[in-house]
Amino acid sequence: MLFKIPTVTALTVLGGLAVTNAAPNLARGRTGDMFAFERDGVVPDILTLSKTLGAGLPVAAVVTSSEIERVTHERGYLFYTTHVSDPLCASVALKVLEIVQRDQLHLRARTIGKRVKDGLLSLQARYKCIGEVRGRGLLLGVEIVSQDSAGTAHHLGAAISDRCMELGLSMNIVRLADMGGVFRIAPPLIITEQEVDRALELMDEAFATTKGTTW
């Protein structure tokens, strides 16, 4: 479960709360810290990791305190699947963590992420269909709105996404009305400044050549 900070504080005071943080996309440096919760001053009792932890290989991890581990062991809890503790995936995951720390990619995500966000804000100033630019580090969201709607515009977002692809830029957007027209910007942690600038140029061209992006 993911809580807002005031909620966590209030519930923890009552006692007995186990705070669980699921962080498939928010860990390993993407938001500018090794783990996103570090900036918010909350340490979860249980942390789950997956996705990019394996750099393409299927791997997940559960991180917890020694006290919780001790109690679960004493109570006979056993988690077992066919591929648990796979040595290849585990080795790759350890290497991923090593490289992120060695090359300080979490700190790099702050500076490169600022370059990306500044570029997106520049686009927002020129295209009225960009309702909001939000996020931190190299995990950002660009909300698409339409002139005749107070909410997001998933059809316009899909059209912009298609135009980006035609220009050679793959953009991530969920094409469902209930999910809204929001681009999820999550480039590799090793993306270069030149690649960022080129991607922003292609986005600019896509917005400029898609009907309904400004009014």
Domain boundaries, the chain: 5-102, 105-208
> What CATH number has the domain spanning 105-208?
3.90.1150.10
Residue 49 to residues 11, 60, 144, 174, 204: CA-CA distances in angstroms? Answer: 24, 5, 30, 23, 34
Least confident of 7-16, 67-76, 168-177, 205-214: 7-16
**Arithmetic mean of pLDDT, 96-109:** 94
pLDDT of residue 4: 41
- pLDDT band of residue 18 (cuts 50, 70, 90) is low
- Which pLDDT value is given to residue 143? 93
What is the rounded distance in angstroms from the CA atom of residue 150 to the CA atom of residue 165? 27
Which of 67, 65, 53, 44 is CA-nearest to residue 24? Answer: 53
Chain-wide mean pLDDT for the chain? 85
Q: Evaluate the CA torsion angle 32, 33, 39, 43 in order and state its sign.
A: positive
Give pLDDT, residue 7.
43
CATH topology of domain 5-102: Aspartate Aminotransferase; domain 2 (3.40.640)
pLDDT at 1: 35
